[in-house]
Structure 1
Amino acid sequence: MAHVLSAVEGKVIDIVPIKRCLISVSDKTGIVELCTVLQNNYNIELLSTGGTAKKLRDSGLTVIDVSDFTGGAECLDGRVKTLHPKIHGGLLAVRGNEAHSQDMITQEMKYIDMTILNLYPFEETMKRPNVTFEQCIENIDIGGPSMMRSTAKNHVSTTIVTSPDQYSMLLNELASTNGGTTLKTRKCFASNAFCLSAKYDSMIASYFESQLAIDNAAEEATASLSQVVIPRVYKPEFELKYGVNPHQKPASILSLQGQSLPFTVINGKPGYTNLLDAANAYQLVLELKQATGLASAASFKHVSPAGAAVAVELTDIECQAYEVTEETRASLTPVSLAYLRARNADPMCSFGDFSAVSDIVDEQTALYLKKEVSDGIVAPGYTEDALEILKKKKGGKFIILTATPGYTPPVQEYREVYGMTFQQKRNDVVLTSKHMETIVTDSTKCAPITDAAIRDMIVASICVKYTQSNSVGFSKNGMMVGVGAGQQSRVDCVKLAGRKVQTWYLRQHPKVLALPFKEGVKRQDRVNARVRYIEGDFTVEEKLRWNEFFTDVPAPLTQSEKEEFLKQSTGIAISSDAFFPFRDSIDHASKLGVSYVAQPGGSVQDGNITEACNEYGIAMCMTGVRLFHH
């Protein structure tokens, strides 16, 4: 196979034999084994410098020092050794170009067919504790990137190898071509090299940016950071079927070059929204676990939680409402208990959810997940029995993600929208009991703030942190019982979530618990039927179909019966992602059994909001932390 470039440059041959190789690596993993094969099997001449040359010689290999090859000694404390015309001429000369060939002869240059290198460990140096700016600067590689780019540019004739991960592929290629490389491989390696170059420069530029920010803060410098270019390099990881909608193609997941993804796909094929749900849900449960010390779970739909909870024992009435048998109740583990609660916050909205848990998924959790309609789960790990159960769910299509151990997200977040790139510091504030200490209401008039109340306010606050704003959330017994997301008016958020709170509480009404379902009615149909019974606003046709679920048609749950039962509701906590601008939210919340409020505060109406809480006997704390999420 031949590829014609031009009449002057001649032809590019697919397979190019390797006769001379330049090696300069900081990561010496596998380099001796590789070079032993290069020299002993293919008689390839080895050029090298410094520590790499010493390691190869100590292993019995014959190595030519770069200084001997160029005729120029290293200088400036090693800063200049490969920056030499005989190195870059040997790499950049176009084979078959008569003018280049004549220059090679005149300048006494020799061709270099392959470069094996990796760069000074700038990133590792940068992350070392107590490292100085000067030490980081000294670890900026100059010669390495220059050789890498020269070799990659001339990939029609030269091979650039930049990672020990490529060694096995290179050896296979040499074996199949009797000591050469193919154009396809050279082009692939060149692409990887330019990506590495971009990543390397990106790290250095980002480091300088961070240092400028420190200088500006410390010295009140006048230079504007807006003039600093921020390069970001992405590595394609895997393709997605489509984006948010089927017509949004192509779509894929990319990682920030040099950083792993937060999850590994164990089973199934996640979609765009699945992974957005997973990212938000997993952050939520990790923060719940960190703040409360309890196993935590979340049930997500369309990038907002339908439910979230921590492991708190079920009451008898909750067991009836959630269809938990005594046998199941006795076998619940903390993580399965947390997910059971999260899923039962709003079981209609949780239909087809993506879930997250803070702890390793055990068999009991997997068995509970098995019977629910759900798209997938993310967790720190799975027992063998749990994994076997989940892999069979949805005909083998159930999505299983394992969180990357020790994953640390970048401090800065970037988002591209309509040709604009937004940058902000990641919202890494974790709400804890410390944020619930500023109580602004009158303790003689309002409900005493117990440990359980603090726990519930924490649960609600962390939940709304990952709910599309404006948002409010209601919680009780360590679980969300109503979430209102994405409303323009805060009182509308309260009313939306409040309807869910009422439905949650009315699911415990004796008439709801006693609904006479026919044998064989599916679990989700029972869930939906109970909710529709509570709502009661049937059309004629809908009521006829609903009646078919029962052995006897139930008597309606009247409005007066609902109101009487709802009067018993108490001890509920509400959290808002931003301040309440008017007291109407508190007025409405008082009808829902709310005893505790957590909100950032900071409104000119804070005094009126506090007085409203005092009037209703609702204790309120101001966290001082706004939690908008967009």
Structure 2
Amino acid sequence: MRKALISVSNKTKVVEFAKKLTDLNFQIISTGGTKKLLDEAGITTQSIDSYTGFPEILNGRVKTLHPKVHGGLLSLRDNLDHQKEVKNNHIEYIDLVCVNLYPFKETIEKPNITFDEAIEQIDIGGPSMLRSAAKNYKFVTAICDISDYDLVIDEIEKYGDTTLNTKKILSKKVFQTTAQYDTYISEYLTDEKIPEKLNKTYDFASELRYGENPHQTAAVYKNNKNPYSILNAKILNGKPLSYNNIQDANSAINILAEFNEPTAVLLKHMNPCGVASNDSLLKAYIDAFNCDPVSIFGGIVALNNEVNIELAKEMKKTFLEIIIAPKYTEEALAELCKKKNLRILELDTTKKNTDNMMIVSVNGGILYQELDKYIVNKEDLKVVSNLDVSDKEKEELLFAWKIVKHVKSNAIVLTQGKKTVGIGAGQMNRVGAAKIAMEWATAYGKTNNLTLASDAFFPFDDVVRISKQFGVTKIIQPGGSIRDEDSIKACDELGIKMVFTGNRHFKH
């Protein structure tokens, strides 16, 4: 009689599965709570200690780590030496292993779990049995996923055994599962920000139509339950997000996270084309839109308050790819859904981003760094020009600073009050970025009382001198150049106020 060893933490559907195996003439060996459940369901089982002839010890920490178990799983059945050793040691073949692991990940996600409680949820016997069975997949069926129960039963009913191809697929799934399981443990035990070995694991979320371009295959994977993730947004209308949609939407919500007051972020190709805060979301959207009504065509809008019907009608005037907001009134949603291809996402943009590190791929490796969560407050600003800076002006300077942080370097952002009026992104030199921002501001008549933010220091005084021509009255920049004094002198000469933040925000 063939033998199946069943020991599961998640007992969903296990009774039905074991019953069908029994009907197919399998003898069931089981452990602890699984055996108790199967016995109560009227399924005859043999306990693991009865099978091995050795009792469970150490409060169940040792029960399946026995030569009769692993010999029965690992023996090559077409190898004469293995056959002799199995017989001489009174080992019986185990033909099927069904194991799912202690819920370590689910345990550590619970509040107030102690370290010792987490450690007890590290499964030892389960992964060992699965790996033994998976290594010997030619002879043993290894099941770690409840969704595979029906497939295994169907094949045994049709062919008398699981097919070799299916066994190989199940083997691969086992090693993927145990590798991921070990990764959760190693991450939990790792205290260093920069560990010697970096292990990360992700779950498949969906295949994408293509990547950045139609000739590139792509998929999206998730690795946690970060509430401030575009991957956790609810799509209320439109098609699934594309690769580029996800990148852009992620950039948009990262900018939005900087603000608490009603704010609209309008974005295209991972750079903002307009950002504004106001006492109403409608006003904020209009201010942001007017910064660059050309570039927003086909772009993304991210909002941090409820969308009402007036705002919906305003946004509907423009071709947009995506709108992201924490909620929509019924009338607003109905109005926006009239555009069937408009992707409408619901995401609580008031939540906090729980990610702390970011990963970027390079040829042959990755770059790994902390997320740029550095906060500059009013009291951190160092006034370096002769002219004094009021609290209101500091607020306007910080508004511009929060935005330039999220613009590709070299970056210059021009604002007027709490709205952008010109953005220069991703230029090879700072003067080029400044000229682009200033040309946009001038094109829309914004040429007075402007704030300029630079993501890094000025190596020369050229940006200061150009900015005077375009109505800039105050500048915020990191400082730190060996020629800072040149820029400060230019500000004093031209009547421009300047503050240093003491930190830069390069974004590549």
Q: Distance in 1 between matches of 2:423 and 2:451?
A: 12
Matches within 5 A, 1:125-144: 126=108, 137-144=119-126
Aligned to 1:233: 201
Offset, 1:88:
2.0
| Deviation readout 1:30-61 (Å, 9 max, x if unpaired) | 25654574477656543332344345445665
| Aligned: 1:160 with 2:142 | yes
| Aligned: 1:272 with 2:238 | no
- Which of 386, 391, 394 is the equivalent residue of 1:449? 391
Does structure 2 conserve the Cα–Cα contact (< 8 Å) formed by 1:21 and 1:45?
yes
Aligned to 1:470: 410
| Aligned: 1:282 with 2:253 | yes
Aligned to 2:295: 349
- Which of 594, 617, 622 is the equivalent residue of 2:472? 594
| Aligned: 1:629 with 2:507 | yes
Change in CA separation of 1:184 and 1:272 when aligned onto 2, cut-off 3 Å: same
Aligned to 2:52: 70
Matching residue's letter, 1:416: S
Q: Distance in 2 between matches of 1:274 and 1:93?
A: 51
Q: Distance in 2 between matches of 1:186 and 1:374?
A: 48
- Which of 366, 384, 389 is the equivalent residue of 2:312? 366
TM-score norm. by structure 1 comes to: 0.70
Q: Distance in 1 between matches of 2:142 and 2:332?
A: 45
Change in CA separation of 1:460 and 1:258 when aligned onto 2, cut-off 3 Å: closer
Q: Distance in 1 between matches of 2:79 and 2:281?
A: 69
Does structure 2 conserve the Cα–Cα contact (< 8 Å) formed by 1:93 and 1:100?
yes
Query: What is the number of equivalent residue pairs in this alignment?
Result: 501
Does structure 2 conserve the Cα–Cα contact (< 8 Å) formed by 1:413 and 1:424?
yes
Q: Distance in 2 between matches of 1:360 and 1:111?
A: 63
TM-score norm. by structure 2 comes to: 0.84
| Aligned: 1:578 with 2:470 | no
| Deviation readout 1:166-209 (Å, 9 max, x if unpaired) | 2xx5247636864965556544443332211121222333345x
- Which of 484, 491, 496 is the equivalent residue of 1:613? 491
Change in CA separation of 1:436 and 1:268 when aligned onto 2, cut-off 3 Å: farther
Change in CA separation of 1:234 and 1:581 when aligned onto 2, cut-off 3 Å: same
Which of the two has greater helix per residue? 1
Find the residue that maps to 2:256 and give its secondary structure. helix
Matching residue's letter, 2:183: S
| Aligned: 1:252 with 2:219 | yes
Find the residue that maps to 2:383 and give its secondary structure. coil
Change in CA separation of 1:71 and 1:360 when aligned onto 2, cut-off 3 Å: farther
Q: Distance in 2 between matches of 1:176 and 1:392?
A: 48
Offset, 1:149:
1.5
| Deviation readout 1:88-118 (Å, 9 max, x if unpaired) | 2333345666665554444333333333323
- Which of 371, 376, 386 is the equivalent residue of 1:426? 371
| Deviation readout 1:366-394 (Å, 9 max, x if unpaired) | 3333221222233345455544444442x
Aligned to 1:311: 278
Q: Distance in 1 between matches of 2:334 and 2:26?
A: 50
Does structure 1 conserve the Cα–Cα contact (< 8 Å) formed by 2:239 and 2:341?
yes
Change in CA separation of 1:59 and 1:279 when aligned onto 2, cut-off 3 Å: same
Aligned to 1:87: 69
Find the residue that maps to 1:486 and give its secondary structure. coil
| Aligned: 1:438 with 2:373 | no
| Aligned: 1:414 with 2:359 | yes
Question: Which deviates the most, 192-201 or 232-241?
Answer: 232-241
Where structure 2 has 5 or more consecutive residues not aligned to the other structure, the ranges are: none
Aligned to 1:491: 431
RMSD of equivalent CA atoms: 3.5
Does structure 1 conserve the Cα–Cα contact (< 8 Å) formed by 2:7 and 2:30?
yes
Q: Distance in 2 between matches of 1:65 and 1:251?
A: 47
Does structure 1 conserve the Cα–Cα contact (< 8 Å) formed by 2:230 and 2:246?
no
Where structure 1 has 5 or more consecutive residues not aligned to the other structure, the ranges are: 1-17, 215-224, 313-333, 507-565
| Aligned: 1:116 with 2:58 | no
Change in CA separation of 1:337 and 1:581 when aligned onto 2, cut-off 3 Å: same
Offset, 1:242:
3.3
Q: Distance in 1 between matches of 2:302 and 2:53?
A: 62
